[in-house]
Structure 1
């Protein structure tokens, strides 16, 4: 049975607003948390998550660093975290697209009555969402920081690592729990990654719990987006509109093939590129100081 949202409307507290609302263009609900300080009228930034992540765990260091300078929107993609499952969706068959995920982000802004945000910062799948958002909704956002995005899904005939993960998640008891430590190892690779996790056991446990508790339905639905995307058109559109100056690509030096992929993305879009040394995929956690400094410099009005 689909899980139910904790709240049907925004809940106002000293920590801002938490709410769950129904998307106008899909049979699904989205959960968000809006850290705002209305009396200060701060610029608004939005954060978008990686696969299997939720806003409670992924952006803790970032929110702590930026919340005095910006109003911050964090949210859970469809069927992730606090965003509940939906009876009206074929999770395993249809899947999602990044166009849909970008339009979900626009719907959050509509729901909050926000015409334009100062910046959209995304990580991994969220970075791809941010770039598609810039291409589809350019007038609604100023700066884009895309951290650890890919350029396109694997070509036909290439080994599909995502399909193997889907088989584990859907075909084995406690499949998400089995995937969790393997995902964390990919996120924090090599000796620097192991050293970080050893030095921060509480953060390691929190991230493992986040991965174990992820809805398998959301995992599959969003993997379908990762199996069928190509950012080339979006990046070319950003360049043609002369929006390149507003886009920063960020990647960890140790994040597999992504440093070279992001170099190609920078060439296509004319966007700026920053590579964080000795960092893996989840650079906003592993190298929070360096990542926050890059973002701070890039988005400062």
Structure 2
């Protein structure tokens, strides 16, 4: 179901279960929303966010499409959105790893008393989290939709780009606001991206506000994970376990080098890859109709 400008159903805060709990394996708290259709035993989907985003903003079109057929768990990554900061964590020094972020997802399931979910759908950083989750916790998830992940940390030289963003983010109280416009341009590149933002001004403004309000501590902590990961091992493990059919890689045609990276990922894992034409990084919003149909077809029991 394609998004409709100014008429996208909000994530229902009064339905289901919202909570914040302390992780058992780290001095941090995670905010989540478990949207359930009352008195219906539906398959469960877990959604995992991109860097600097929140579940309340990122998944509106997705929830509108799937809310009557699935129960949906959404959560904010550590130090993002409604997941609060932790005094016991060295945000700028230690950083996070994708192994930790994958274990956070497992801890949410433990907290909710859910042994296994039907599908995990992740975007960008959330997609990488999902692939690590499948490799580390295979028995707890059926299908994985990894949208917009890379194979490994940025190529040589790109670290300087990350560090430049970190410097801006941590420079004064308005660092994230300074990064917001350029982030949105990267997320929605080229003429198709500009056209989408121009014709969906309400959604554009909402995304900009989300980016401006993002916590710099969470941004930096998760940047460290993005600077230090390699999915080669997890993807090989997925293939060795015979789980390749359970993984769908999705990428926007205009998302820089990531289409080629995802083709390499598909070869390593022996999984399928789908490329969405004229889409950038945030394909679940820019091309919501195409994205939701792909996911629906792949995860339908």
TM-score above 0.5, yes or no: yes
Structure 1 residue 116 corresponds to structure 2 residue 108: no
Alignment of 1:24-173 (within 5 A): 24-155=24-155, 159-173=159-173
Cα separation, 2, equivalents of 1:32 and 1:221: 19
1:28 is displaced (CA, Å) by 0.4
Q: Deviations over 1:189-217 (max 9, x none)?
A: 00000000000000000000000000000
1:277 is displaced (CA, Å) by 0.1
1:156 is displaced (CA, Å) by 5.1
Cα separation, 2, equivalents of 1:79 and 1:227: 18
RMSD value over aligned CA atoms? 1.2
Q: Which secondary structure state, in structure 2, belongs to the residue aligned with residue 73 of structure 1?
A: strand
Normalised TM-score (structure 1) = 0.94
Q: Deviations over 1:22-48 (max 9, x none)?
A: 000000000000001241100000000
> Is contact 2:159–2:227 with CA below 8 Å preserved after alignment?
no
Q: Which secondary structure state, in structure 2, belongs to the residue aligned with residue 40 of structure 1?
A: coil
1:161 is displaced (CA, Å) by 1.4
Alignment of 1:135-284 (within 5 A): 135-155=135-155, 159-284=159-284
Describe the shift of the 1:39–1:100 C-alpha distance in structure 2 as closer, same or farther (beyond 3 A). same
State the match for 1:298 in structure 2.
Answer: 298
State the match for 2:285 in structure 1.
Answer: 285
Give unpaired runs (5+ residues) of structure 2: 1-11
Relative to structure 2, which stretch is displaced further, 224-233 or 166-175?
166-175
Cα separation, 2, equivalents of 1:158 and 1:50: 19
Normalised TM-score (structure 2) = 0.94
Q: Deviations over 1:149-207 (max 9, x none)?
A: 01101345555311110010112451100000000000000000000000000000000
Cα separation, 1, equivalents of 2:112 and 2:131: 21
Runs of 4+ in 1 over 2 A off after TM superposition: 154-160
Q: Deviations over 1:269-299 (max 9, x none)?
A: 0111000000000000000000000000000
Aligned residues: 290
Cα separation, 2, equivalents of 1:63 and 1:134: 22
Q: Which secondary structure state, in structure 1, belongs to the residue aligned with residue 146 of structure 2?
A: strand
